[in-house]
Structure 1
């Protein structure tokens, strides 16, 4: 790869390549996580055609999150050892295979295999945690805004892809919708990531944050795996005594439960409340737009006022959005109550995800950070494993979402406490600098 590094150092003299990395991660996050969350949109025609219960489909979603959790630390370790170029494109390939395979679904086990397993494994290799671990290699001073832009990809995916998916289903059927989506991921995202991803700023002759390098200091290319590679166990035993790790683990579970429970059930819930499928997709899309705003704006604000306060504010918006969701049948006719929910949910969800990633990066730096994010992914995915099937089975039993949505509300309240009283703000963490600690 030496010739590639030399070519790169000559090709990008005035553009900081970190922003290209952000753009690639943004695009990948948009399509990969929408592949997960669009499960809510596809559930409507799947239930109509096959008569499967919400609990059964929620269990397929839980399998997706379970594999995401189990593979997360290993994906992070692979990222630390071999670099993003050796990991992320394979995630796109697996997600693409799962989506294309959706065209052939005719039994429930197909859903578990194609959507649960392939997309679960694929998003572990190239999802939120992986890309959140890539950015600290490229950004320090602008980490909050860079992370916000990255995670706004989740919102952009919901904003543009959710309505497109709904229209494809309406006009051509859910099988064609899966096929089109999958071919895009396989044919475009996978090769683009392989061609353009790089490991470190030094590989393109630049310095972190795009800052100028002293003329007397040469830019020495860095290769993945040239630094000391710590095992998953070594990383865990180092961070387990840091209270920030456990604060972030609790926040991760909260975010995973909230995000996956709401987005996996939202379309079904809105249809139950009298919304059309098209209007439901618009509500999800608007939430995506505000997710973009929340990710970028709260990320920018946190660079100036600190992460804990910004996280507590984001959790407060999450509390309000659940109050609106539980009251949506009493707030007037569609679609205005749904749009009010979208505003609160989008801003809050964008903020909590961005702050979680930025708080982790602030605490643990960039050495072995991929493995740290993989460990935290277990907690996030744990919430995703528990929430959707719980919500589905509770609805199957009671005909109501009051209990699962109330649990989400309580978790968001706890997030305010965790951010303000358990998390200790840092600028340099366990792996940020200096020699290894005993």
Structure 2
């Protein structure tokens, strides 16, 4: 069916997805604010707290391919609604914890599973179902929701935690999840044909094939993994994204604020620095999506990982140097934070097909979160036993430089340089 309306329903779907991912990002940014208050209130070590964060990051990634299978089985709308409900309950329950294992169970398992149901596989699924034109640009905007959520939530959460205690920050993020919940129920749809349109920018299309209602989502997800492990491209994509997770969510997202506090920078100011990086990443990731519509994604990834590695190698010196040096790091790193997502999704779709991108990218994103979980635990342990984060920062910079070379081998024989699209 040809599209004749000036306003396409896909933009409304994009808006609700953006808000959902924004709230999820705000919830996931909370540990950076909680580490120091939990140390003071309960006497838990940074390594102990980092373990719960690592479980959260790991499940956030591992839920991705199964969430993509549930998108096919029960629909995107229901899956998103369940995720927001779990997040609201889980974050509220953290205010009741008194033991380290409580944090592992509530924040690590419950919140990790809820967040994982709205991971980047949601963005990939929505973009490929609802958009034919400008997929990279739209994916860049959705991916940037992580930065926007960080921008909106971190300063607020830091102030709430500082003036009213960390529990007030937890309740604030739970309330945000409940606000978005009805929007998902009333506006979200699973496919364009449900509202009588084709994908944005596409000519008349047939309705998508319906999955067997008895098809097991776990079988769908495991089938994608079996296909992936036989593919060299899958291992290259997963390996590079492992490095991405280790150098972003696991290291900087979890430990930059505590590292700043170690160097005498107040927690609220450090959260503001992380939020400033979020502003820059909003532009950087959106631009990355626009570029991935036009140029070879392998070369884009090479640049992104290389520049990120150089910035991380300079971070220990920026922390102990003059104030302008840390600001320079924030600018350099912030523009590059999650710019890797749009080209990685594009390469995944080209390697495995648009209809399989949700599950396949879900598994690739799982490797991202394995890297994040290991980095969060490793950095916390390094800080506990060595007294600072220098080793963790330098090692992360080195592996980013290694990833810059690794990505050039992805889909190398089948992916020609992309010419700019016609307007």
TM-score normalized by structure 1? Answer: 0.87
Any conservation in 2 of the 1:94–1:122 contact (CA below 8 Å)?
A: yes
User: What displacement does 1:58 show?
Assistant: 0.6
User: What displacement does 1:286 show?
Assistant: 0.6
User: What displacement does 1:353 show?
Assistant: 2.5
User: What displacement does 1:202 show?
Assistant: 2.1
User: What displacement does 1:390 show?
Assistant: 0.8
Any conservation in 2 of the 1:72–1:124 contact (CA below 8 Å)?
A: yes
Q: 1:302 aligns to what?
A: 292
User: What displacement does 1:224 show?
Assistant: 5.4
Q: Does 1:376 align with 2:367?
A: no
Q: Does 1:248 align with 2:234?
A: no
Give the Cα separation in 2 of the matches to 1:209 and 1:426.
27
Give the Cα separation in 2 of the matches to 1:106 and 1:12.
58
Q: 2:200 aligns to what?
A: 209
User: What displacement does 1:427 show?
Assistant: 7.1
Q: Does 1:404 align with 2:404?
A: no
User: What displacement does 1:227 show?
Assistant: 9.7
Q: Does 1:196 align with 2:196?
A: no
Give the Cα separation in 2 of the matches to 1:133 and 1:251.
21
Give the Cα separation in 1 of the matches to 2:41 and 2:379.
21
Any conservation in 1 of the 2:62–2:363 contact (CA below 8 Å)?
A: no
Q: 2:118 aligns to what?
A: 126
Q: Which deviates further from its counterpart, 348-357 or 232-241?
A: 232-241
* Partner deviation per Cα, 1:31-63 (whole Å, 9 max, x = no partner): 112212221111121112111111001100111
Give the Cα separation in 1 of the matches to 2:344 and 2:337.
11
Q: State the secondary structure of the residue aligned to 2:154.
A: helix
Q: 1:152 aligns to what?
A: 144
Q: 2:63 aligns to what?
A: 71
Q: 2:38 aligns to what?
A: 46
Any conservation in 1 of the 2:124–2:357 contact (CA below 8 Å)?
A: no
Q: 1:431 aligns to what?
A: none
Aligned counterpart in structure 1 of residue 127 of structure 2, from 132, 135, 143? 135
* Partner deviation per Cα, 1:242-297 (whole Å, 9 max, x = no partner): 32211111012111111122211110001111211121011100110011111111
Q: 1:28 aligns to what?
A: 20
Q: Which deviates further from its counterpart, 363-372 or 250-259?
A: 363-372
Give the Cα separation in 1 of the matches to 2:8 and 2:189.
12
Unaligned 5+ runs, structure 1: 1-8, 214-218, 429-438
**CA RMSD, Structure 1 to Structure 2 (Å):** 2.4
Distance 1:250 1:282, change over 3 A: same
Q: Does 1:361 align with 2:349?
A: yes
TM-score normalized by structure 2? Answer: 0.90
Aligned counterpart in structure 1 of residue 318 of structure 2, from 310, 314, 328? 328
Q: Does 1:169 align with 2:161?
A: yes
Figure out how many residues of one structure are paired with residues of the other and give that number. 411
Q: State the secondary structure of the residue aligned to 1:368.
A: helix
User: What displacement does 1:359 show?
Assistant: 2.2
Give the Cα separation in 1 of the matches to 2:374 and 2:356.
28
Distance 1:426 1:77, change over 3 A: farther
Give the Cα separation in 1 of the matches to 2:320 and 2:158.
27
Q: 1:420 aligns to what?
A: 408
Distance 1:426 1:198, change over 3 A: farther
User: What displacement does 1:121 show?
Assistant: 0.5
Q: 2:173 aligns to what?
A: 181
Give the Cα separation in 2 of the matches to 1:16 and 1:364.
28
Any conservation in 1 of the 2:95–2:167 contact (CA below 8 Å)?
A: yes
Equivalent residue runs for 1:221-260 within 5 Å: 221-222=207-208, 225=211, 231-259=220-248, 260=250
Give the Cα separation in 1 of the matches to 2:230 and 2:165.
52
Q: 2:282 aligns to what?
A: 292
Q: Does 1:386 align with 2:374?
A: yes
Aligned counterpart in structure 2 of residue 110 of structure 1, from 102, 105, 130? 102
Unaligned 5+ runs, structure 2: 417-423
